Chains A and B, each alone.
Chain A
Amino acid sequence: MRRGWFLPIAAALGFSFLYAPIVSLVIFSFNESRLVTVWSGFSTKWYGELFRDPQMLGAAWLSLQIAAISATIALVLGTLAAVALVRFRRFKGRTLFSGMVSAPLVMPDVITGLSLLLLFVAMEGFLGWPQGRGMLTIVIAHSTFCTAYVCVVVQSRLSDFDRSLEEAAMDLGASPVRTFFDITLPIIAPALVSGWLLGFTLSLDDLVIASFVSGPGSSTLPMVIFSKVRLGVSPDVNALATIIIGLVASGVLIATIIQLRSKPKRAKA
Chain B
Amino acid sequence: MAKKTTQLAIDTRPWRDTANNKPFVRIKNVTKKFGDVLAVHDVSLDIYKSELFCLLGGSGSGKSTLLRMLAGFEQPTSGTIEIDGQDMTEVPPYNRPVNMMFQSYALFPHMSVEQNIAYGLKRDNLPKGEINDRVAELLSLVKLQDYGRRKPHQLSGGQRQRVALARALAKRPKLLLLDEPLGALDKKLREETQFELVKIQESLGVTFIVVTHDQEEAMTLATRIGVMNLGEIAMVGEPTDIYEFPNSRFVAGFIGSANMVEGKVTEDEPGHVRIRSAELGCDIYVGHGVDCAPAQILWWAIRPEKMSLSREKPQTPHDANVTSGIVEEIAYLGDISLYQVALESGKRIRVSQTNSVRGNPDAITWDERVFVTWSDSSGSVLTV
Contact = CB atoms under 8 A, between A and B. Distances in A.
Contacts of B104: 162, 164
B71 A171 contact: yes
Contacts of B72: 171
Contacts of B109: 165, 187, 265-266, 269
B153 A169 contact: no
B107 A269 contact: yes
A173 B94 contact: yes
A167 B106 CA distance: 9
A170 interface: yes
A175 interface: yes
Given A268-B153, A269-B152, A269-B153, A172 B167 contact: yes
Given A167-B93, A264-B153, A162 B106 contact: yes
Interface in A147-190: 162, 164-165, 167-175, 178, 182-183, 186-187
Interface residues of B, number: 28
A175 B94 contact: yes
Nearest to B123: A173
B346 interface: no
Nearest to A266: B109
A230 to B, nearest CB: 51
B139 interface: no
B66 to A, nearest CB: 16
B110 A186 contact: yes
A178 B95 CA distance: 14
Contacts of B119: 169, 172, 174, 182
Nearest to B118: A172
Contacts of B123: 172-174, 178
Nearest to A166: B106
A42 B101 CA distance: 68
Nearest to A178: B123
Contacts of A268: 153
Nearest to B154: A268
Most A-side CB within 10 Å, residue of B71, B102, B170: B102
B110 to A, nearest CB: 5
A182 B123 CA distance: 11
Interface in B228-252: none
Interface string B130-169: 0000000000000000000001110000000000000100
A172 B110 contact: no
Contacts of B110: 186-187, 265
A169 B120 CA distance: 8
Contacts of B103: 164
B79 to A, nearest CB: 21
3 smallest CB-CB distances across A and B, nearest first, come from A172-B120, A173-B123, A168-B106
Interface of B: 71-73, 92-95, 98-100, 102-104, 106-110, 119-120, 123-124, 151-153, 167, 170-171
